[in-house]
């Protein structure tokens, strides 16, 4: 049985409208249950996704962590909110990841990764990533101090994945999967611009090649690609209604590993597809909305019964 939890962002929505939500999807029955509908007035509504919607998802025991643009929310398995946390250097958050009693958040606007201590329930340090166009550097900083990074969004960091070997990061403008080993940072795999959800997998890299409308696994032995689902134009709704004119179908974002041979990937209009890495075939797709503005963001395997 495959159950997934997904978040969405409604790109180009207006105040008073839903601009995202949280969905629980049972792939066996194809039943979709919306657990949260996100709507708040105190956000930045300018262009693209900006402050809209909910983003990365992670779990710690019986706690569900979900990132909004500038706030980290905590829920129980019934989606009762049990806490929320802000930080001066948290803005335009994307993916989050739990590793060794810390939750790591990509703070895209500040070219940073913020570390949240799961025992102290507090942000404890930040990692700023910078480049001069040739060389990369990474430096820790106090996430509550005055000497943190400027809000430049040079790399558009959107992916984070941690292992015993270090912290893997990637963004729209990094052109590669980066690894920070605690002392140095460098590119370990070249990737196209515009990727999302890049992560090491089976001696290779798994990622959403968003600009190419594909999900890819690249290893030394093979290169595998799955085409992102697209629908007849006549079935799409809210076409041309987003302020920024950036909402489009086929925008791939959201990616999780179900097992060694199966992955799930998200796209717009909000659709989640299961792909088989052995056969190279798409097993099933479930559509949540035909609203062209509605895009999957976070995607994780549901760990509870």
Taking alpha carbons only, the member of 247, 243, 240, 172 closest to residue 211 is 172
Provide CB contacts within 8 A for 183, sequence distance 6+: none
Domain that holds residue 264: 3-301
- With b meaning 16 or more CB within 10 Å and e meaning fewer, what string describes 243-261? eeeebbbbbbbbbbbeeee
Q: What is the rounded distance in angstroms from the CA atom of residue 213 to the CA atom of residue 47? A: 21
DSSP readout, 231-278?
A: --GGG-BSTT-STTS---TT----EEE-SSSEEEEEETTTEEEEEETT
Residue 47, pLDDT score: 42
Coil, strand or helix at 210: helix
Q: What is the mean pLDDT of each run of 10 residues along the chain (305 residues)?
A: 92 54 95 85 41 87 96 97 97 97 98 98 98 94 96 97 97 95 96 96 96 97 96 91 68 97 97 97 96 94 94
Number of domains in the chain: 1
Coil, strand or helix at 110: helix
- Residue 121 sits in a domain whose CATH number is 2.120.10.30
Sign of CA pseudo-dihedral 231, 237, 239, 244: negative
């Amino acid at each position: 049985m495959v159950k997934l939890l997904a978040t969405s962002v409604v790109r180009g929505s207006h105040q008073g409208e839903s601009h995202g939500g949280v969905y629980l999807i049972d792939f066996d029955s194809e039943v979709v249950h919306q657990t949260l509908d996100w709507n708040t007035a105190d956000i930045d509504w300018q262009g693209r996704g900006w402050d809209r919607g909910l983003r990365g998802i992670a779990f710690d025991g019986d706690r569900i962590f979900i990132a909004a643009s500038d706030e980290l929310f905590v829920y129980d398995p019934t989606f009762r909110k049990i806490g929320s946390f802000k930080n001066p250097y948290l803005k335009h958050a994307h993916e989050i990841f739990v590793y060794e009693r810390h939750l790591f958040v990509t703070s895209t606007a500040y070219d940073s990764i913020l570390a949240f201590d799961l025992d102290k329930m507090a942000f404890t340090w930040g990692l700023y990533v910078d480049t001069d166009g040739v060389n990369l550097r990474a430096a820790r900083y106090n996430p509550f101090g005055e000497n943190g990074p400027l809000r430049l969004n040079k790399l558009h960091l959107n992916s984070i994945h941690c292992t015993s070997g270090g912290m893997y990061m990637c963004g729209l403008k990094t052109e590669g999967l980066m690894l920070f080993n605690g002392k140095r940072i460098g590119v370990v795999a070249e990737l196209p611009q515009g990727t999302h959800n890049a992560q090491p997998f089976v001696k290779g890299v798994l990622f959403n090649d968003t600009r190419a409308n594909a999900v890819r696994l690249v290893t030394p032995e093979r290169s595998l690609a799955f085409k992102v689902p697209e629908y007849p134009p006549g079935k799409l709704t809210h076409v041309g209604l987003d302020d920024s004119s950036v909402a489009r179908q086929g925008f791939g974002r959201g990616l999780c590993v179900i097992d060694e041979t199966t992955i799930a990937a998200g796209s717009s209009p909000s659709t989640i597809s299961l792909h088989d890495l052995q056969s190279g075939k798409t097993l099933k797709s479930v559509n949540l909305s035909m609203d062209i503005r509605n895009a999957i963001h976070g995607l994780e395997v549901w760990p509870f019964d």
